[in-house]
Structure 1
């Protein structure tokens, strides 16, 4: 009886072991992920005409901070804040009493020196007449000539001092250095100002304003060509603030001397007319540069692009019904499409629908 039971249990155990192994083998077999349904689009090129945009800042062509040339107290302000001023127009008056007194003293000193010069001249002339008759020692004649020379130098120094003091008197009047617009005064009447240090105000031109923006060093040749070939204001350069386009077109004024080694870019300056005063120094906007070159551009739907950590990618279909992720460099957006500067070639196929479900090497089921 016992041998039969042992045989029975052995067979049952063997069956259980075999079943367990079979189940384990089934679990270890990898499951193939299902193919992702996508829509493919063939990459094409076209002669796209579009605007490239660069961040820009409006700056005046001429701007100067007004600082006093003499120390004193403000006694008068002769303009309205924000008004248009003309070259030479009186803007500020500084207390001139001390400088006027110094001028009067300098004039009096010149009169004394001129009187001394006249006396020295007479003495020299008299000694020379006596010397003709050998009626005076030669030493006295030499002394008279020397005294005359000293008197001349002192008179010249007195004249120079008058000019210096007169300059200080003139500097008590602060005038506009050129035609332009003046800002809000930084001082009020009665304020103490220090020569060369205190900022009184700022004057800048506004009939034309510049817009500075940076371009990559790779584009220097292109912008240099535009600089040499431009004829007045044309439609190549425009300016945008938010959704508004500035009505006037600009032209390139200059390209900076050298490339910034830290950014690899170079500053470029445009000039725009500002007849209606719509532009103000310090405004920020977008410089729009029309690109209508004859070279073909790769254009793809923007929805085909994915972004990861600031870089852009598309999924390119391969020969084995799989996709590979490829990094691309984007250009300007044109409606629902975007220009691809680098990364794709004409004729390649990319996924434009179902992109969110794709991964590197994913199997696809391409629909039409």
Structure 2
């Protein structure tokens, strides 16, 4: 009997301990209280802003200068970085060998011409004698064959002289067009090889090209601007230089590439900018700024946007006050607002404050709903 009482007491203790453990587990499994957040209602409003694209400045006409004959540089006839004109001599390569070859080719040509003259006289004489049947037919035929051979010898000598003359002419290198020449890659006495040694680079002056990639979704917009041509405003296309300043001269759209790159889904666009003060240099990077006016733009507080590995997200207030992380395409920032190109529609509610404490799917407690339109900026800085 005593053992039975002890068993009942022990069982009761176990039951009490299990009950306490269950209560503790339930307490731990209880969901955390909703995070208090501020929300805004997404609305549409007119906005003037700039879309920006990373770009590279390139010369509209640029060429690398190569040697076309081998030899040693014997003359450099310009200063690095100076403006040169079309046809101006830039370099000379040792001409002694090519001049000697040319003189020999001309001498061979003269010999061939002399042989031709002799063969022509013999042929004329024998043909005259043949009219009176005063010479063997075989002799006449041989004379005519010699005449043909002499003519072909002259043509061969002319071709050889022309080839050697070309090499002699290539020993002097001239500017193919007017422009600015760079820093010489060779010095006096340097050995050069045809097709492999780059002597220098010339870029045309005047306007320069600014190339940048455009998403295929924006092709219709840029095609329309290209078709409008000079009808669009002068300040539609500007560029921000590496130091952050805006270039003083506006540009114009020159062309869109012939095809979309299937790997990136973009097409290359080219703008043309004047360069009267030579501020722009080929190879520079910049940001193209394309002025845009949208009467129904979606703008949201910039503080509502979070960035993850180059992508942008906002938290949209979903059913049962659950936060839903939504990917957006962010555009230009205007004051404390950001243009949203894709991902949101008017009427949706987004979380603006407390986003650092929110996780997708978590229940939140809205604290306020400030309409975006109350403070929509009208123009970008």
- Aligned partner of 2:177 in structure 1 is 178
Per-residue deviation, 1:362:
3.1
- Aligned partner of 2:379 in structure 1 is none
- Aligned partner of 1:263 in structure 2 is 264
In 1, the alpha carbon distance for the partners of 2:94 and 2:53 equals: 49
Unaligned runs of 5+ in 2: 369-381
- Aligned partner of 2:35 in structure 1 is 36
- Aligned partner of 2:293 in structure 1 is 292
Deviations 1:40-64 (A, max 9, x none): 1111112222111111111111111
Per-residue deviation, 1:25:
4.7
- When normalised by structure 1's length, the TM-score is 0.91
- Aligned partner of 2:51 in structure 1 is 52
Inter-CA distance 22–165: structure 2 relative to 1 (3 Å threshold): closer
- Aligned partner of 1:71 in structure 2 is 70
The answer to whether the 8 Å contact 2:178/2:205 transfers is no
Per-residue deviation, 1:256:
1.4
Inter-CA distance 360–65: structure 2 relative to 1 (3 Å threshold): closer
Return 297-306 or 339-348, whichever deviates more. Answer: 339-348
Unaligned runs of 5+ in 1: none
Instruction: Supply the RMSD in Å over aligned alpha carbons.
Output: 2.3
In 1, the alpha carbon distance for the partners of 2:158 and 2:8 equals: 134
In 1, the alpha carbon distance for the partners of 2:338 and 2:221 equals: 21
Deviations 1:298-323 (A, max 9, x none): 11001112233443322222353333
Deviations 1:267-304 (A, max 9, x none): 1111111110000111011111112244x221100111
Inter-CA distance 140–305: structure 2 relative to 1 (3 Å threshold): same
SS of corresponding position for 1:230:
helix
**Pairing 1:349–2:349 present:** yes
- Aligned partner of 2:23 in structure 1 is 26
SS of corresponding position for 1:289:
strand
**Pairing 1:158–2:157 present:** yes
Deviations 1:8-55 (A, max 9, x none): x89977875675455345324343422322111111112222111111
Inter-CA distance 68–325: structure 2 relative to 1 (3 Å threshold): closer
In 2, the alpha carbon distance for the partners of 1:338 and 1:291 equals: 14
In 1, the alpha carbon distance for the partners of 2:276 and 2:327 equals: 46
